[in-house]
Amino acid sequence: MSGHSKWATTKHKKAVIDARRAKSFAKLIKNIEVAAKIGGADLSGNPTLVDAIQKAKKTSVPNDNIDRAVKRGAGLTGESIDYQTIMYEGYGPNGVALLVECLTDNRNRAAAEVRTIMSRNGGTMADPGSVAYNFNRKGVISITKADGVTEDDILMAVLDAGAEEVNDQGGGFEVITDPSHLVAARTALQEAGIDYDSAEAEFVPNVSVEVDAETARKVFRLIDALEDSDDVQNIFANFHIPPDVQAVLDADDE
């Protein structure tokens, strides 16, 4: 797991998010609605909602939109929120393993869209369980690098809060925990005055595969197409981009 490349940390990913701000807002709002439905609107008793709101605010979702989503999800507006979480498994170009997490109100539509997108972009669907065993569910806290905050500072802050690893991802750091320790690690960072971008339970690969620039471009195209689907909420993959390949990809974006 050490050294795996998280898709969300790449410059390319950030550019995609900027270009699709409206779609990104909709997915963040959906996360807030679901968290509020499951745990209620009281932030003090719903850490999942706290993290969903934090992520939305980091992406500049307006406060009014966030407030309405909390009320809607908690049933305070009389509206009904009914989303299902579905996980699809598959392979991208050159055998890169993919988990595609959907949050949808129409299971048949989500399945058809994911299957079509995979087949049109060099991917293949896989049987349930044939890919998932390559991943473990972990708590992942993403931290953008800032002046005066070192890897050792982060490690010292979260060590006693159940953190398993602190990884340098180039433009930021990643704290890996057991999902049950995610809230404790997040709180420890706050108490240490260290700002974080997101704190979520994610699927982290046990073993990552290195990809060359051409394979990475193909995988990116597939992930871009999947993220265009309103039903697709998260994508987890097991590819690792070596520094020399990342430099080539950065040059593509210039």
Q: What is the mean pLDDT of residues 197-217?
A: 91
Average confidence score pLDDT of the chain: 88
Question: Could you tell me the pTM of the whole model?
Answer: 0.84
Helix or strand holding residue 203 (H, E)? strand 198-205
Torsion of CA 169, 171, 176, 182, to 10 degrees: -170
- Categorize the per-residue pLDDT at 170 as very low, low, confident or very high, splitting at 50, 70 and 90: confident
> pLDDT value at position 23?
76
pLDDT at residue 13 greater than cutoff 60: no
- Categorize the per-residue pLDDT at 8 as very low, low, confident or very high, splitting at 50, 70 and 90: very low
Q: What is the mean pLDDT of residues 207-229?
A: 92
Please name which of 123, 198, 202, 194 lies closest in space to residue 158, comparing C-alpha atoms. 194
**When comparing pLDDT for 157 and 18, which is higher?**
157
For residue range 129-164, list pLDDT tens digits in order.
Answer: 999 999 999 999 999 888 889 999 999 999 999 899
> pLDDT value at position 14?
55
Question: CB under 8 Å to 126, separation ≥6 — which residues?
Answer: 89, 90, 91
> pLDDT value at position 242?
86
**When comparing pLDDT for 69 and 81, which is higher?**
69
